[in-house]
Structure 1
Amino acid sequence: MLENIGETVDAVLEPLLGRVLIRKGKVLKIGDREIDFHPSFRLLLQTKLANPHYQPEMQAQCTLINFTVTKDGLEEQLLGEVVKAERPDLESLRAGLTKQQNDFKITLKTLEDDLLKRLSSAGPDILSDSALVINLETTKKTAADIELKVEEGKITSVKIDEARDRYRRAAARASLLYFILNEIYKINPMYQFSLKAYSVVFKEALARAEPAEDLEGRVKSLLDSITFSVFVYTSRGLFERDKLVFLFLVTLQILQCDGKVDARELDFLLKYAVAPEVSPFPWLSNNSWGGIIALSKMDAFENLDKEIEGAVKRWQKYTDGEAPERDKLPGDWKNKTPLQRLCIMRALRADRMSYASSAFCEENLGTKYVEARTPPLEKSYEESNCYTAMFFILSAGVDPLKVSENRLLVYTIDIYGKYSVDLEKLGRKLGFSTDKKNFHIVSLGQGQEIVAEEAMGVSSVNGHWVILQNIHLVAKWLATLEKKMEETFDNPLPEYRLYLSAEPAADASYHIIPQGILESAIKITNEPPIGMWANLHKTFSKLQSESDSWTSNS
């Protein structure tokens, strides 16, 4: 078996894939060597790529088997995890019942085979063969007993499934969120996540869910915990410009799953495929009026254009407002659904759509989603382990991983709103530093690949920390890095930690970071937050963290 192949396979394997045999016996030529070919030989190729594209010739030479999880399949898996956490007795009963049903099938097959064997070896007078008759009666009785137990098992299985289905909404939400994560690589190829890492987040969310007095309340608590945990886990690895896009996508998908989104309204909001109309008002552009006319043709917005013409001052005041997304729409239009109000905002004030989208998400999911802060480095460290790397996605043109006066600063930010996290300070707090020679810093480039490999090997064996800076500068070595990571994660000491950093490519076509590295790592971006409010929160969080540190050390 050849594991972790890419989209291209070495040409030396082509004779093997095509079974190009030389006529002098069964001999295969691989490179310059002739190798005997055994008829029982099988070649298995495995890839971690979620959607690989292979050459037509290779596809014709191989049998492709897709083990990628489906949405429904993942929902069933996650439902099992939810029930195991919430009702372990129920899941245990289900597992036992499944095993019992399988045992019954095996028993029936064994009895059937034994009976057929006896019949085939019986003499001409079957009725005089007392052993065969007794065996036949025993088989008949056993089969009847099993059939009765199978029917009882089916009834029990239905009751178990009914009880399990009460938690299905939580599993469906988790499955939905995972497939959203699977799509955001289209925004930036650095945003890639594995099911293995997602499963860890999911289980932690189940454990953190607030208790409730009844089952309905508990399911709602699970839904909230799962959604927010996945949002925080994902958004800390997104650039600021993409966080709202991700949150908006999550909100829309949840509403769609709940059947609360009209397809025509969503199409209008996303595409805005309208023709400009001559506006009767100087304060409203032709493009905006065209949007109003298009909306008025939908049942939910019937007579919207006439309403505006009949209450010009109120609509002008609303439209000219400094933050209309926070104001109520005139008349009964304020009672429209959040999505419908967003459609009206799209037509009247397209320049406020980012703020309106944020308000839309806040109204549907809650304030904590729009005010969510990137967890401090200490929190991310607590979630890491010796088998998982932490990957810092750098802002283009910024080198936050720099050594200054023997201090490794992951973020160098001042009190005026710039965020700072000192990785070396965290290391010193936990007993890791360059002075103790258990914190290894390798800046890649200029032939440092061998140094990096040695540092990883030493660190995994001795439980050290190692940070590999700017791995995007060594494109040809990245495949080797991925293999080395698998080696060091095989059996490391619990204290071992691997930190990586890289800049994203300027264009997706130049993306070089292997999918396997990105999917398995905890990703963190190094951008300062946008806006004074967010920056103040970051500053106070940092001061609080430092204050706690001083208190614990005093």
Structure 2
Amino acid sequence: MRLQIEFGTVSMADYRFLLTGGTSLDEPPAKPADWIPDRFWSELFKLGKVSEQYVNLAGTFAHHVETWKSIYDSPDPMRIMQGEGTRPDSMRELTRFQELLVLRCARPDRVLPAILNYVAETMGQKFVKPPPFDIAGSYSDSSNIAPLIFILSPGSDPSSALNMFAVEKGKEISSLSLGQGQGPKAEKLMEEAFPIGGWVLLQNCHLFASWMPKLDKILETLDPKQVKPDFRLWLTSYPSDKFPVAILQNSVKITNEAPQGLRANMVGSYLMDPISNEDFFEKSLAPDYFKRLLYALCFFHAVIQERRLFGPLGWNIPYEFTQNDLRISARQLRMFIDESPEDVQFKAINYLAGECNYGGRVTEKQDRRLLMTLLADYYAEGALKD
């Protein structure tokens, strides 16, 4: 954005409005239609104070009230605002960036996807897609005295990927979930791993913040000559203001956020073990049935994660469904398909996935009912038909 502002492609006033909205001491005129929300009309009026380019938006609103109504009601308002035959006449001279300002007034809920599209158009897709989860690259940047820290986010679980990487490297991981009283055990694991070049995984460091200064002191006094070069200390933690700054500064930080959007979530599921394993994916005794139901399961997994974005409209309680839920459900699906290739046991796979794997996290009665209803739409006879 700084470059676009410097080159005059975007004005600072427009950029400020996108970030903070407008300011005006004047009262907006009367709304031309009852359906227009007060916020929408007020913001559009304030936008007219930013530049002369926007004055006609509110001034000619009454002449295009049906067009504005379709923008307000549409699930994809940007498509109407950018269409040659559908957008209001007052928007025809606006740039792609200026259209974002109008969208902020009319449909603030669609601003983030529109900004991502704008960045992709102007800079390229690689700037809006998260980089692949690359443990090998992070490992190559690490050393035997600098830990590797997985910064956790809801819905992400790096333990499976780390275990697979350890198998590739021929290493065994000594893991421990931290909590009250686990400090001496963690110290013992590290002391045993130092001379043999072992790997130690300390999980959930944020739950044992009082022991983190002790870990900081241990790492600070490590002598590289007395620790095998193959030794690695892996840590996992949610963001915490009590995490020692010195450890963060001297470590390799890795984050693996849950994918955003159904498509990205589906792609991530198919790249996950065991689904990405060719033998698992291709060698079922009923490959057509298995692949169809596996696709349905991945779609279900993406849907229930995306519902968290809608707050209490999605779930009464925000549950942290993870890849492990999908992983065990996929393995159970393969097992039941292979045991009964001609007669899929829908009742069994619905119960195991819905009541046990995913449902084990669900504590609210209505949420559990919703979960089972959603799953029944995907794990159903219809999924096996074209």
Instruction: Give the corresponding residue for 2:239.
Output: 504
Q: Would you say 1:517 and 2:251 are equivalent positions?
A: no
- Does the aligned pair in 2 maintain the 1:441–1:466 contact within 8 Å? yes
**Which has the higher mean CA deviation after the structures are superposed, 298-307 or 374-383?**
374-383
Instruction: Give the corresponding residue for 1:323.
Output: 76
Secondary structure of 1:303's counterpart equals helix
Instruction: Give the corresponding residue for 1:282.
Output: 34
- Does the aligned pair in 1 maintain the 2:156–2:258 contact within 8 Å? no
Q: Would you say 1:394 and 2:128 are equivalent positions?
A: no
Instruction: Give the corresponding residue for 2:117.
Output: 359
Q: Would you say 1:445 and 2:194 are equivalent positions?
A: no
- Tell me by how many angstroms 1:332 deviates: 6.6
Secondary structure of 1:468's counterpart equals strand
Secondary structure of 1:462's counterpart equals coil
Matches within 5 A, 1:78-93: none
The counterpart of 2:47, out of the listed 295, 311, 318, is 295
- Tell me by how many angstroms 1:346 deviates: 0.8
Q: Would you say 1:432 and 2:190 are equivalent positions?
A: no
- The CA deviation string for residues 249-282 of structure 1, in whole angstroms up to 9 with x for no partner, is xxx3453455543222222222224467331123
TM-score by length of 1: 0.43
1:349 alignment partner AA: R
Distance in structure 2 (CA, Å) of the matches to 1:334 and 1:519: 50
Distance 1:473 1:537, change over 3 A: same
Secondary structure of 1:512's counterpart equals coil
Distance in structure 1 (CA, Å) of the matches to 2:100 and 2:146: 41
- Does the aligned pair in 2 maintain the 1:432–1:464 contact within 8 Å? yes
- The CA deviation string for residues 35-94 of structure 1, in whole angstroms up to 9 with x for no partner, is xxxxxxxxxxxxxxxxxxxxxxxxxxxxxxxxxxxxxxxxxxxxxxxxxxxxxxxxxxxx
Distance in structure 2 (CA, Å) of the matches to 1:363 and 1:387: 43
The counterpart of 1:465, out of the listed 188, 194, 199, is 199
Distance in structure 2 (CA, Å) of the matches to 1:287 and 1:487: 58
Distance in structure 2 (CA, Å) of the matches to 1:446 and 1:313: 62
- Tell me by how many angstroms 1:292 deviates: 1.7
Gaps of 5+ in 2: 282-386
- Does the aligned pair in 2 maintain the 1:325–1:359 contact within 8 Å? no
- Tell me by how many angstroms 1:316 deviates: 3.0
Secondary structure of 2:130's counterpart equals coil
Secondary structure of 2:277's counterpart equals helix
1:499 alignment partner AA: W
Secondary structure of 2:202's counterpart equals strand
- Tell me by how many angstroms 1:536 deviates: 1.3
Q: Percent identity, aligned pairs only?
A: 30
Q: Would you say 1:310 and 2:63 are equivalent positions?
A: yes
Q: Would you say 1:338 and 2:96 are equivalent positions?
A: yes
- Does the aligned pair in 1 maintain the 2:144–2:224 contact within 8 Å? no
- Does the aligned pair in 1 maintain the 2:22–2:47 contact within 8 Å? no
TM-score by length of 2: 0.60
- Tell me by how many angstroms 1:465 deviates: 0.8
Distance in structure 1 (CA, Å) of the matches to 2:254 and 2:206: 16
- The CA deviation string for residues 274-294 of structure 1, in whole angstroms up to 9 with x for no partner, is 467331123422221222222
Matches within 5 A, 1:104-253: 252-253=1-2
Secondary structure of 2:272's counterpart equals helix
Instruction: Give the corresponding residue for 2:338.
Output: none
Instruction: Give the corresponding residue for 1:60.
Output: none
Secondary structure of 2:144's counterpart equals coil
Distance 1:384 1:259, change over 3 A: farther
- Tell me by how many angstroms 1:387 deviates: 4.5
- Tell me by how many angstroms 1:471 deviates: 2.1
Distance in structure 2 (CA, Å) of the matches to 1:548 and 1:490: 42
Gaps of 5+ in 1: 1-251, 401-409, 412-420, 434-438, 506-510
- Does the aligned pair in 1 maintain the 2:203–2:236 contact within 8 Å? yes
Distance in structure 1 (CA, Å) of the matches to 2:111 and 2:130: 20
Secondary structure of 2:271's counterpart equals helix
The counterpart of 2:271, out of the listed 538, 541, 545, is 541
- Does the aligned pair in 1 maintain the 2:156–2:257 contact within 8 Å? no
The CA RMSD over aligned residues, in Å, is 3.3
Distance in structure 2 (CA, Å) of the matches to 1:337 and 1:490: 57
Distance in structure 2 (CA, Å) of the matches to 1:395 and 1:323: 29
Distance in structure 1 (CA, Å) of the matches to 2:245 and 2:55: 49
Distance in structure 1 (CA, Å) of the matches to 2:6 and 2:246: 30
Paired residues, number: 271
The counterpart of 1:532, out of the listed 245, 256, 262, is 262
- Tell me by how many angstroms 1:378 deviates: 4.0
- Does the aligned pair in 2 maintain the 1:325–1:355 contact within 8 Å? no
1:314 alignment partner AA: T
- Tell me by how many angstroms 1:323 deviates: 0.8
Q: Would you say 1:485 and 2:226 are equivalent positions?
A: no
Instruction: Give the corresponding residue for 1:423.
Output: 162
